[in-house]
Amino acid sequence: MSLVVRTLADRIFDLVREKVVSGELAQDQPIRQDALAAEFGVSKIPLREALARLEQENLLVSHANRGYFVRAMSADEAEEIYALRLAIEPAAVGLAALAATDAERAAATAAMDALDKAAAGQAEQVAMRNREFHVALARPCRRVLTVQLIERLQFLSERYTVAHLAPAGRGDRAHDEHNGLLQAWLARDAARAEELAAAHITGTLQDLRQQLHQA
């Protein structure tokens, strides 16, 4: 049995990251460390550690004598993230469809249920649940480095997921695409699962291109 010990900085990292992904922390305003420390009831030491980690995650950027700012989303970054996802994620999903154990198949189904529940009334959790669903479809491919890369790209995708789902109707379309992908994956139809994963990622990128260029 493994014991996972989470430090105070770990918990603050998650809290600040959630504020970044949700858009609660604006891109054009400096992060007010005094206010955040007071809100979380902590000193600035673990907060600064968490902010430094978030900069390493490419979510924040620091400027000398000005502090930390939320790193702006961009069309170029979206292109890079989703191109990398297309290069590795669909193939991993196809392999995983064939290799998944009963427990892993149950986990993927549960991840889809959790995503639907979040979409129905827990909007602040949608990006995280979306990430968990996609990782659950890829993890059984048994390729450790591939899964680590997919997890990293999913983390980087979260803010773009929130932006993508903002227009009306996008949530319903995403649900249908996710459900179709899951059904092919559960049927162990590797070719179809890979095809649907690629189509889903491509469609999201096409929407984001229009949104981000307009912005």
At 14, list the tokens. Answer: 């998650």
C-alpha 161/C-alpha 123 separation (Å) is: 12
Nearest to 91 by CA among 130, 131, 149: 149
Q: What percent of the chain has pLDDT over 90?
A: 73
116 DSSP assignment: H
C-alpha 213/C-alpha 73 separation (Å) is: 11
What are the phi and psi torsion angles at 143 (to 5°)? -115, 100
Chain-centroid distance of CA 109 in Å reads: 18
The DSSP code sequence of 67-90 is EEEEPPP-HHHHHHHHHHHHHHHH
Rg of the Cα trace of the chain?
A: 18
N- to C-terminal Cα separation, the chain:
49
Environment class of 4 (CB within 10 Å of its CB; exposed 0-12, middle 13-18, buried 19+): exposed
What are the phi and psi torsion angles at 31 (to 5°)? -75, 125
Q: What is the mean pLDDT of residues 37-61?
A: 92
Q: What is the mean pLDDT of residues 128-140?
A: 97
pLDDT band at 2 (very low <50, low <70, confident <90, very high): very low
When mean pLDDT is compared across 26-40, 109-123, 133-147, the lowest value belongs to 26-40
At 153, list the tokens. Answer: 């790209």
Q: Report whether pLDDT(199) > 90.
A: yes
Q: Report whether pLDDT(4) > 60.
A: no
At 169, list the tokens. Answer: 């109707």
pLDDT band at 6 (very low <50, low <70, confident <90, very high): low
Q: What is the mean pLDDT of residues 160-176?
A: 90
Distances (CA, A) of 12 to 39, 57, 127, 147, 179: 11, 14, 18, 25, 34
Q: Report whether pLDDT(9) > 80.
A: yes
Structural domains of the chain, with CATH: 8-70 (1.10.10.10), 75-214 (1.20.120.530)
Q: How much is the pLDDT for 193?
A: 98
C-alpha 108/C-alpha 28 separation (Å) is: 37
Q: What is the mean pLDDT of residues 16-33?
A: 87
pLDDT band at 5 (very low <50, low <70, confident <90, very high): very low
Q: What is the mean pLDDT of residues 67-73?
A: 92
Greatest mean pLDDT among 46-55, 68-77, 87-96, 166-175: 87-96
123 DSSP assignment: G
30 DSSP assignment: B
Mean pLDDT of the chain: 92
Query: How much is the pTM?
Result: 0.86
